[in-house]
Amino acid sequence: TGWASAMARLFTFLLTLLGVHLVAAAFKICAFNIRSFGRAKAANQKVMGALVQILSRCDITAIQEVRDSRGIAIQMLLRELNRYDRSHHYSRLESKRLGRGSYKEQNVFVYRMDVVSIIDWRQFEDEKIGNTEAFVRGPFAARFHSLFTAILDFVLIVHHTSPREAAHELNLLFDMCKELMEQWKTENVMVLGDLNAAGAYIPANAWARIRLRQDLGFHWLISDTEDTTVSHRTCCAYDRIIVHGEELLGAVVPRSAKAFNFTQALGLSEEEALGISDHYPVEVNLRLAPKAQREL
């Protein structure tokens, strides 16, 4: 009937308004391992179309596994992202190319520069600590500032652990966090990325030796039971978000940390989804600042 149709349209309109309100009610931080992201993926319209839909949900995304030595792929991604979402302007901060051998990759922070700014950054080197090998790929850190969030300043450390060295590198990240806290005089630090922190990469008896896990000041927001992998054949929480600092933890929206299943959200087959990545992004929301603070 006409009445039923009108009510359906009204219901849809109200849901749309609610969706807009919910999107605007929090500041979203994401981490996404876009497996081997280079010029081949950047030239694939279907892949790029999906990527901009995924990334446009986030105020900051820490991207891992950027493989293009000439930097063209990430430029193309930013261009398409800014075309897709004209309500914001996206910029980027790139790490150096990381890796000990011929295999190199980058970490890249993609962020809405009209909402958040970068006030400092640091690239940790692939160096030895004493006689011990440090990281296969050094962590990349940035200090962010935003008037829109309930916390003005916070530090993000993105890292992609070497699978064979995952337990060792997770333990070393504890030292990197403490070093940054001292350098930047803040307790509010978030570690995020593909940490390979699950499955055979972290034997059960290794957890007790990982200070990043055992220290009560660090809060692991992505649980061990979360599946951050695309393939139906795997179920592992490789990708994590770890928060330090009571102020930052207090700014986190409860139960907002999760993997974003873009296979379901975008209506993709498993094969199509794997063409984008074998990882799902992980995400967490921060509460927005009071209106008065946002208008400063």
Catalytic residues: 105, 160
Residue 164, CA distances (Å) to 1, 18, 169, 243, 262 in order: 63, 45, 10, 24, 28
Biggest distance spanned by C-alpha atoms of the chain: 78
> Per the structure block, which two tokens stand in for 207?
């957890």
> Per the structure block, which two tokens stand in for 17?
């308004």
> Per the structure block, which two tokens stand in for 217?
């000041």
Would you say the C-alpha torsion 143, 148, 149, 150 has a positive or negative sign? positive
What are all long-range contacts of 199-202, with beta carbons under 8 Å and residues at least 24 apart? 199/234, 199/236, 199/238, 201/161, 201/163, 201/164, 201/166, 201/167, 201/238, 202/166, 202/167, 202/170
Of 7, 101, 108, nearest to 55 by C-alpha is 108
Spatial neighbors of 136 by CB under 8 A, at least 6 apart, are 98, 99, 100, 126, 161, 162, 165, 169
Spatial neighbors of 200 by CB under 8 A, at least 6 apart, are none
